[in-house]
Amino acid sequence: LISIQSHLALGAHDIEHIDGNVNLRLTDGTERFVPIGADDQPEPVKAGEYAYVDDSNEIICHLETRQVEKTKVTP
């Protein structure tokens, strides 16, 4: 609801689980993408979509709508 009202896509990530730097870039299809709740089962990613990717070539947010198990915020 906040994103709709503010026109900004917002998310939270556990920085302790990010490897190196994060880059916003177009995917090439080789990135690892494990959505929240996927039990470490990667899903394929199409080339040419935008995502935030860390230095280990793992997506931490795909199309600003799908976050990942790796960096989800926990208590």
Is the CB of residue 34 less than 8 Å from the CB of residue 27?
no
Contact 45, 59 (CB under 8 A): yes
Write the pLDDT tens digit of every residue in 25-36.
999 999 999 999
**pLDDT per position in the chain (75 positions), as tens?**
777 888 887 778 899 999 999 999 999 999 999 999 888 899 999 999 999 999 999 999 988 778 898 998 888
* pTM of full prediction above 0.85: no
Residue 64 has a pLDDT of: 73
**Nearest 5°: phi and psi at 2?**
-60, -40
The pLDDT value recorded for residue 32 is 96
